[in-house]
Structure 1
Amino acid sequence: MVYRYRMRVPFGDADHAGLVYYPHIFHYFHLAYEDFFHEILEMPYQDFFELRCVGAPIVHSEAEFLRPLRHGDEIEVHAQVLRMGTKSWTWRFSIFREGDAENEPRVVGTITKVFVHMATMKSQPLEEDVRAKVEAWLAQGT
């Protein structure tokens, strides 16, 4: 199952050559991830931290830059849950420019996050209600 997040690349995200500066790619991944919380989990992203006291720091991230993105490009970030463990999950992200073929992303990457209690920073299991919503969403794709 793929979650899709659309946006336009803002002017400030481009370097002097007019290409998206690479750290912004990880920000685009995060924007899709955060939007997933709002749309699929029906939870404002900040509630995860502020009300539930759950953090999800990144323990691994990588990206492969296949073709450039530029200021003004209309893009779609595809987000997929690759693995949902007890205390972590791994997401795959692909970024497509409007008009690109479905099998020709501009950027692909993965991010693994571990769930921690915000006060202790010790790992903890993903809360059951969140897990149930993600599993229900994933089941729609089968």
Structure 2
Amino acid sequence: MAFTVRQKILFKHCDPAGIVFYPRYFEIMNDCTEAFFADALHWPFEELLKTAAIPTAQISAQFQAPSHHGDHLDIALGIARLGRSSVDLTFHATCGDETRFTAQSTLVHISQNGRSQSWPDALRPAFVPHIIGDQNDS
């Protein structure tokens, strides 16, 4: 089951030509990820970051069509793989029936001293309904 966020393209996302400046998509993906942790997993970043961190270790994106000021993107986030201390996320952003971008990222759960650590036992089950396919390394 994918988690979906709707994002209106704002002036701040756009370049002088009125289309999204591509680095802003990475901010939009991070906003989607933060909403996913808060709304779907019920583990908001502000709680998780009190004892750990979840930096992005890898990210890639493919841009299929431009987005313009005022467009509404539906961004679907799914889990491609759940590991012991990492999670691979997929993003699929559409405006109506048109794909605007797809992306993949890997987050790593790390301790305050910067070493990878297992996802908390209370959090791991919350990931499971969002796994797409059967790519679970738990």
* Global fold match (TM > 0.5): yes
Instruction: Report the RMSD for the aligned CA atoms in angstroms.
Output: 1.7
Match of 2:77 in 1: 79
Q: Distance in 1 between matches of 2:43 and 2:90?
A: 21
> Is the 1:2–1:78 Cα contact (8 Å) retained in structure 2?
yes
Secondary structure at 2:124 match in 1? helix
Count of aligned residue pairs for this structure pair: 133
Secondary structure at 2:35 match in 1? helix
Percent identical residues: 27
What is the TM-score with the length of structure 2 in the denominator? 0.90
> Is the 2:94–2:101 Cα contact (8 Å) retained in structure 1?
yes
Runs of 4+ in 1 over 2 A off after TM superposition: none
The one-letter amino acid of 2:62's match is E
> Is the 2:43–2:123 Cα contact (8 Å) retained in structure 1?
no
Q: Which runs of 5+ in 2 are unaligned?
A: none
The one-letter amino acid of 1:107's match is F
What is the TM-score with the length of structure 1 in the denominator? 0.87
- Whether 1:32 and 2:24 are equivalent positions in the alignment is no
Q: Distance in 2 between matches of 1:39 and 1:84?
A: 18
User: Which one of the candidate residues 102, 107, 114 is aligned to 1:108?
Assistant: 102
Match of 1:130 in 2: 123
1:28-74 per-residue CA deviation (whole Å, 9 max, x = no partner) reads 11111111112112232211102xx1111111100001100111101
Where do residues 1-142 of structure 1 align in structure 2 (5 Å cutoff)? 1-50=1-50, 53-97=51-95, 99-100=96-97, 104-118=98-112, 120-135=113-128, 137-138=129-130
Moved more, 56-65 or 34-43: 34-43
